[in-house]
Each structure stands twice: as C-alpha cells, then as structure tokens.
Amino acid sequence: MLQRDQRQVMAQRIDPKLIMANAILQQSAIELAQHIEEELAENPALDAIEQEPACRGACVPPESCPICDQRERRAAAEEARYDGAYEVDPYARSAREEGFDPLGNLEAEVTLQDHLGVLLRAALPETDCRIGEYLISNLDDNGYLVDAPEEIADELNVAVEDVCRVLATIQSLDPPGVGARNLRECMLIQLQFLRDDGQGNAMAERMVRGHFEDVVYRRHSKLARALGISSETAKATIEYMRDNLNPYPASQFRPPWAYRPSNHRSSIRPDVVIRRTDVGYEVEVLGSEPFLLGVNPTYREAYHRARASNGSLPTEEKRHIVEYVERAELFIKHINQRKKTLRQITRAIVDLQQGFLETGSRAYLRPLTRTRIAEQLGMHESTISRATAKKYVQLPNQEVVPFDLLFNASLSIKTAIEHLIAQEDPAHPLSDQQIVELLREQGTRVARRTVVKYREAQKILSSNRRRR
C-alpha cells in the first residue's frame, strides 16, 4: 500500500487586492481614465454618474466652481457695462487677474529633450547648462549619445572632463539608461538604478561588465563556467535582465507616428494640480473626472437579495451578482484610496516646498527625499515611490513638472554638503562622517561614501586638505 508524503510548505502569496491597489496607485491620470472606461465596459455592476456641481454660493476660489465662476463673470460684465467706458470681456479679465495662459494648458507631446531639460536645470549649476543642453540635443530617438565626449568638448571649446561630468549627471536622470554611449553602458546604468532602489542583482552586473558578448548571445553554459555558477543561475540572471532592463530607454518619448506606446500616449497632462487660494494652497488629484463612480442600483438590490437568500437563487446567478458588485466596490475603494494618498503626499510636499511654489525658482527647492515624506505620513517608502512615479504636478504658476523634480535628492544633498562646508570653521573643517551626522540631524539619511562621491564631484578637497 502506497503512503502519500504529506508535508506542510510555507509559501508567500500576494493578495490580489493588494496587487490591484498598487496597480491603480501607480497609474497616471491618463492611464486611470482608460482603466475606468475599460472597467465600465466589463463590469455591469459599475455605474458612471455625471457629477452635479455642488454650490452654496461662496466657493473659494470662485473659478473652482462653474456656478460661482459664471456668477463672477456676469457681475464683471455688468459692472463694466454700467461704467459706460467700454465692454470688458470677463473671460479676459479673469485670465489677466490669475496670470493664466489658456494655451499653456493645451496637451502636447512631451519630447525626451523637454523632459530632460526640466530635470537638468534643477540638477546643474547655470555654468554647466550649456553643455547639458548640447548633450541632450545629441541624444538619438533611443536615448543614446550620438557624438563622443571628445568631439562635443572640441565643438563647445570646453574640457573633456567637464563634458563627462555633465554627462554623468544626465545618466543619473529618468529614464534610466538615457545618455549611454552603447548598449553595455545603458545596461550598467539601469542595473545601478535597480541596485540603488534595493532591487539590484550583483551577478547581472558582473556578467555585463566582464562577459557582455556572452550575455547578448545568451551563452548560459559559457557564463556558468566563467563565473563559477550553475547554468540555471546564469539563465535566471539573463531572464532578470530581460524582464527589468530596457535597451531603448527613450522609447516612451517617441512621437505616435514613430512608436505606439503600450499604455497611453506621452502627453504633458498633470496628475495633480496645486492652486494658490486666499486661504493657502489647494490640491486637486485628477484621473477619475468627469464621472462619479457608483454601484448600479439594480445590482445593489440584487446583491442584498442574493446575500439574504437561502438557496432560492440559482448558484450561477448568485455568483455573477456577488462577484461583479464586490469587484465594483473594490475598484471604487482603490480609486478613492489613490486620490487620498496622492493628496496627502502632495500636501506634505507643499508644506516643505513653500519657497519653490511661491517663486517657481529651482534655487528655492529644499532638500527632500521620499523617505522623509514616508516617515512624516507614516507610509512605506515604496508607496511614495509608486504614487509619484512617472507623474506630473501642475504648479500655481501653471508650469507642469515631474514629481521627480521635487524629490531631487542628489541635488539637495550636494547643495546641503556645499552649504555645510561653506559655513565650517577653516581651522577645524568637517570630516565626511561629521557631514553625514549633520545631514541626518536635518532629516537626510546618506552614507559616508555618498558624501565622498558628491564632495569629489563638486571638486571639494578632503577635510585634511581644507584645514587652514
């Protein structure tokens, strides 16, 4: 008689509800709008109700409410007519008062150069912007640098070291791999991004650095012998690179006639809007407008009957009703949670970046990391990353910028290091470890080797050589 071997095995399973919540949180406004349309088509229990503007007659600011806005405009027109001078266009008056450019909000295709230009101006001093802009203009459609740094240095009449330094800054920007001079460098840059994000693979880096040709041609056995690993490990590592690396880092920025994105067209449409009001800043999260989602009343009533029935409904009909109603409820819950999370994150950013919001100048950006926002809101850092990844925010001056600009940790740390060293006692200069501790007191966690890296990048001597 055969005996079955029964053993308990612990395996970690991810809750499908958590997967759905993270997916919706990560979606941009355009992706979410498309997702809602798809869900409305697939789920008969989900209803879209046109939102009626709720108005009590004193909305602040008036233009945020269609009813109050129209009332303000009529009053302005009446006032101008009774003044007897000439009739004023109330729409033009509102635009002048708000400093609003209606053409500035038209959706347009964002190019790789536009995207990098915004990030680069925040990451480089003014003296290096000319080199950075020239390098950006020399990137091809895939994001690779066309000309050699030596040729660019000769063209601009600058040192090759300066070109390489600015190029390194470009290579640290989003999308990972941009600015690479070849496929190997592109892969190494992306692997470094993954390592910094806690998802790195040391074996993959070893393969690309020392056995690139074998990686390209997927020579599993040869890689295994060279690195002293099994063929299965070599194959799994190459699969990791295939799933996580993109040989065409700028493909998402190609125009629609050259490339058809898999999810949505690349357009400068904000996911969050920050407005200045008389009582502070107002945050609006976009994505689910112009409809209010709800459960279909007929399905809701049938759901309650199905729950209360004791076998009176056919099993298949009961399963259909329960499945679709609970799916609709969960979908609405995750959309509301996305809106709440994005609003909380943006409000925290508003509180910490008042100077930048008031002036619009990158010079007033304060040191800020996702870790700090996570600690302040009691969230996990990965939640902050998912919520803000590849999303844009519209500032009070109507400029639309990526959330990454507000979390430019490299720029903030470099600026903070430079500021601390500028204020140190020349007779007792700060050591790198002391700088680490001072930054930690300011809410910025950074490793000592990172301080050394940024200090050397800014051509600042060590503490021993700074002592006077």
Query: Strands, E, within 10-90: which ranges?
Result: 46-50
Report d(CA 419, CA 22) in Å as an integer: 38
Q: Give the other-Cβ count within 10 Å of 88's Cβ.
A: 15
177: helix, coil or strand? coil
pLDDT of residue 59: 53
Q: What is the pLDDT of residue 377?
A: 92
Q: What is the pTM of this model?
A: 0.47
What pLDDT, on a 0 to 100 scale, did the predictor assign at position 73?
Answer: 53
Q: Residue 282 is inside which H or E element, if any?
A: strand 280-285
| Tens-level pLDDT at each residue, the chain (468 residues) | 455 555 665 544 555 677 778 888 888 888 888 888 888 889 899 888 755 545 545 554 555 454 455 555 555 544 443 344 333 333 333 434 444 444 444 444 567 888 888 888 777 787 888 888 888 888 887 889 888 888 888 888 889 998 999 999 888 888 888 999 888 999 999 998 888 877 888 999 999 998 888 888 788 888 999 899 998 899 889 888 888 888 888 876 654 434 333 333 344 678 999 998 888 899 999 876 656 788 888 888 888 888 877 666 787 888 888 899 999 999 999 999 999 999 999 999 999 888 888 877 766 777 788 888 999 999 988 889 888 888 899 888 888 888 888 886 555 577 778 878 888 888 889 999 999 888 887 667 778 888 888 888 777 888 888 887
Contact 108, 267 (CB under 8 A): yes
Say if residues 350 and 281 touch (Cβ distance below 8 Å).
yes
Classify residue 399 by its DSSP letter: -
Asked if 356 and 365 count as a contact pair (C-beta separation under 8 A), the reply is yes
Q: What angle do CA 160, 174, 248 make, to 5 degrees?
A: 85
pLDDT at 110: 65
Runs of H (alpha helix) within 126-277? 129-137, 149-156, 160-171, 183-196, 202-210, 212-216, 220-227, 231-244
Q: Residue 164: what pLDDT?
A: 92
